[in-house]
Structure 1
Amino acid sequence: MKVAYVFATNNAATFKLGTMVLPQLEAGNHGADVVGMMFFDDNVFSLRQGDPVGERLAKIAEEKGILLMVCDQCALRRNLAEGAPESCGTGTVTAKGLVKGVVAGCFPQLYGALAGNPPDHVITL
């Protein structure tokens, strides 16, 4: 089974990802193939360069081919992306100051990025 995670609630990335999902992925006992993760609001902060959770996640994502995407508008508002606010959703906003492999985008970019390896389930945390 393939899953994608959407981190949308407060502390979802630091608590649920950092203490549950990520350790399971690292141990190889998560129970599902994770194909993508989308980060909204303050959850984008966990992907900053140097953040322990983000650095561990970047390593696992690279090994397992997991898409890591931040909401372009959320990242822009937190100075973690470059581009114009009116260009959100166009695919022209770029992530900055984030761990290796993270891209910025909105739903059109998320759908396109997962089209070649679609999840069976999307889980919002």
Structure 2
Amino acid sequence: MMKVAYVFSSPNSQKILKNMIIPQIMEDRHGVEVVGMFFFMDNTFFLLNGTEMGESLQKLHEKTGLLLMACDQCAYERGIADQIIPGASIGCFPHLYASLGSIGVDQVITL
């Protein structure tokens, strides 16, 4: 099965993630193995502990083990680096590459 990672940078990412990607993965009908998600700019708020989206992403992480990472500078600028869900981490591209490199990603998709 193809392994993909998503990079969420668009302001429209919430709708796509909430209404399509998360339900499809949770119902085993997404069609690929999602091995990682990286969040930029205001999308780092998706990983905030105590929010509906954060809880959904935490459940997804617990089910699949996929990597959840917030851009470190984005998280620090927004003052949430210490408030993200337990299944997520913060980092920059070198951290993302190192984490995904051993998994063997076939495609990275930016939304």
1:37-95 deviation digits (Å, cap 9, x = unpaired): 000000011111111122111111122110000000000000012xxxxxxxxxxxxxx
Q: Which residue of 1 aligns with 2:51?
A: 51
Instruction: Calculate the aligned-residue CA RMSD, in Å.
Output: 0.9
User: What corresponds to 1:42 in structure 2?
Assistant: 42
| Higher relative contact order, chain-length normalized (CA < 8 Å, sep 6+) | 2
Residue 15 of structure 1: how far off its partner (Å): 0.9
Matched with 1:106 is 92
Runs of 4+ with >6 A deviation = none
Report how far residue 118 of structure 1 moved.
Answer: 2.2
TM-score by length of structure 1 reads: 0.85
1:123 aligns with 2:100: no
User: Are residues 1:27 and 2:13 paired?
Assistant: no
Any unmatched runs of 5+ in structure 1? 82-95
Name the stretch that deviates more: 27-36 or 45-54: 45-54
Identity across matched positions, percent:
49
User: How many residues align structurally?
Assistant: 110
Q: Which residue of 1 aligns with 2:77?
A: 77
TM-score (norm 2): 0.95
Q: Which residue of 2 aligns with 1:2?
A: 3
The structure with the larger Rg is 1
